C-alpha cells in the first residue's frame, strides 16, 4: 500500500463513535465482534443511501435520465443533515451525483460521500435473473463494457476533484450475485478496482450481498480496502423479531470467511409497504429495525448505510405501486418523515 493511501485510510477512519452513556445496550447475543475504532467510515456509525429520484424521475440506466433539480437535491441534503446524517452513499458517478457533490461544497454542508461507480451488464445473466426474459444481445454487452470504462473514469475524476468530500469509492453494486440483471465477470470487477485504487488515495470497496462475499469473495477481498456488505432479513422471510440477530449472523459469516478485513454494511433496511411481504412491511417494523441497527452499529464500530433516504417510485415493477422496491425510504416521496425519523 502506498503511503498516501495509508494516510488517507488512517485519517478517514480515525474519529470513532463510542457507545454513549445514554445509549441502550445491545443484547450480548446480537453484539457480535466489535471492530477497531478505525473501521468506521469517516467516523460515522449510521449513514444513509441516497439518490433522490422523485415522481417521474429516474437515473440513466439506458433509457435516458430525468434528474432532480439542483434545488430538489439541496432540499434533500438539508433534510438529511437536519436528521443527523453526515455520511451518504451515492450509487454512480453521473450528473446527479456530481450535482450533489457540488452543492455540498458550495453550501458547506457537513456531509461526506461514499461515491459509487455503477457497472452495467457485461454478461447476460438471463438464466439466473428472474426478471430478464431474454438474453442481452452481445452488441449491448459490448456497449456496456465501453460505458463501464467511461464510468470508472468519471468516478476517478470525481474522487480527485472532491477529495475533501469523497471519503471512499465503491466499484459496482450487486454486479456479482447470481440473481442480478447487470452481471460483470469477477476478473473484470477486480480490474476496475485495481484501476481505481491506482488512481486515487481514498479507500476502495465493492458492494454485494453477504452470501456472495462469504462464499466467493476471497479473490476480491484481497483487492479492496474494506468489505461492502448488503444484508436484508426481510427478503429472506425473517420476522422483525429475528431481523437483527440474522443481520449479525450474516456479518459474522463474512468475517469468518474473510478474516482481517474491515466490514461496512452498505445496505440494510426494512420496507414500509410491500406486496411481497404483506403485513410485515410497515413503519413500526422499519422504525424498530432502524433503531436496533443503530444501536448495534455504534456498539460494534460498524458503519451501516440505511437503505434508503427517500421512497423512489421509479424502482421495481412499474405496474405495481405496492412493489417493495419503491418503499424502503426513511422519508416518503413527498419528503415527509416516516416513524423511523420522527
pTM: 0.92
Count Cα atoms within 13 angstroms, Cβ side, for 240.
20
pLDDT score of 16: 35
Residue among 287, 251, 250 nearest 270 (CA): 287
User: Is 3-341 in CATH node 3.20.20.80?
Assistant: yes
Domain spans in the chain, listed from the N-terminal domain onward = 3-341
Place of cell 480490474: 191
**CA distances (Å), 169 to each of 26, 48, 101, 156, in order?**
30, 15, 14, 9
pLDDT score of 65: 83
pLDDT score of 194: 98
pLDDT score of 61: 61
Contact indicator for 213, 258 with CB cutoff of 8 Å: yes
Q: What is the pLDDT along the chain (342 residues), one digit of tens a residue?
A: 554 454 444 444 433 333 333 333 444 445 578 999 999 999 999 999 999 999 999 987 656 789 999 999 999 999 999 999 999 999 999 999 999 999 999 999 999 999 999 999 999 999 999 989 999 999 999 999 999 999 999 999 999 999 999 999 999 999 999 999 999 999 999 999 999 999 999 999 999 999 999 999 999 999 999 999 999 999 999 999 999 999 999 999 999 999 999 999 999 999 999 999 999 999 999 999 999 999 999 999 999 999 999 999 999 999 999 999 999 999 999 999 999 999
Amino acid at each position: 500500500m502506498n503511503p498516501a493511501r495509508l494516510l488517507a485510510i488512517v485519517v478517514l477512519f480515525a474519529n470513532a463513535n463510542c457507545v454513549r452513556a445514554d445509549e441502550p445496550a445491545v443484547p450480548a447475543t446480537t453484539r457480535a465482534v466489535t471492530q477497531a475504532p478505525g473501521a468506521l467510515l469517516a467516523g460515522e456509525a449510521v449513514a444513509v443511501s441516497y439518490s433522490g429520484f422523485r415522481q417521474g424521475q429516474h437515473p440513466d440506466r439506458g433509457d435516458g435520465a430525468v434528474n432532480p433539480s439542483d434545488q430538489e437535491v439541496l432540499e434533500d441534503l438539508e433534510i438529511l443533515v437536519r436528521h443527523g446524517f453526515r455520511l451518504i452513499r451515492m450509487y454512480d458517478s453521473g450528473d446527479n451525483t456530481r450535482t450533489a457533490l457540488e452543492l455540498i461544497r458550495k453550501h458547506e454542508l457537513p456531509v461526506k460521500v461514499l461515491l459509487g461507480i455503477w457497472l452495467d451488464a457485461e454478461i447476460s445473466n438471463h438464466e439466473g435473473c428472474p426478471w430478464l426474459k431474454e438474453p442481452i444481445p452481445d452488441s449491448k454487452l459490448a456497449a456496456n463494457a465501453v460505458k463501464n470504462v467511461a464510468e470508472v473514469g468519471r468516478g476517478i475524476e470525481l474522487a480527485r476533484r472532491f477529495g475533501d468530500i469523497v471519503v471512499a469509492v465503491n466499484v459496482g453494486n450487486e454486479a456479482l450475485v447470481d440473481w442480478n440483471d447487470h452481471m460483470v465477470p469477477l476478473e473484470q470487477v477486480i480490474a476496475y478496482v485495481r484501476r481505481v485504487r491506482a488512481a486515487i488515495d481514498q479507500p476502495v470497496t465493492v458492494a454485494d450481498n453477504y452470501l456472495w462475499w462469504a462464499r466467493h469473495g476471497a479473490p476480491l477481498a484481497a483487492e479492496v480496502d474494506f468489505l461492502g456488505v448488503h444484508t436484508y432479513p426481510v427478503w429472506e422471510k425473517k420476522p422483525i423479531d429475528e431481523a437483527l440477530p440474522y443481520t449479525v449472523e450474516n456479518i459474522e459469516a463474512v468475517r469468518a470467511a474473510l478474516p482481517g478485513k474491515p466490514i461496512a454494511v452498505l445496505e440494510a433496511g426494512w420496507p414500509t409497504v410491500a406486496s411481497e411481504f404483506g403485513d410485515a412491511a410497515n413503519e413500526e417494523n422499519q422504525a424498530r429495525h432502524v433503531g436496533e441497527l443503530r444501536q448495534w452499529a455504534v456498539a460494534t464500530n460498524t458503519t451501516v448505510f440505511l437503505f434508503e433516504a427517500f421512497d423512489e417510485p421509479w424502482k421495481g415493477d412499474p405496474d405495481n405501486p405496492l412493489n417493495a422496491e419503491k418503499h424502503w425510504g426513511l422519508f416518503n416521496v413527498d419528503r415527509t418523515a416516516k416513524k423511523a425519523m420522527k
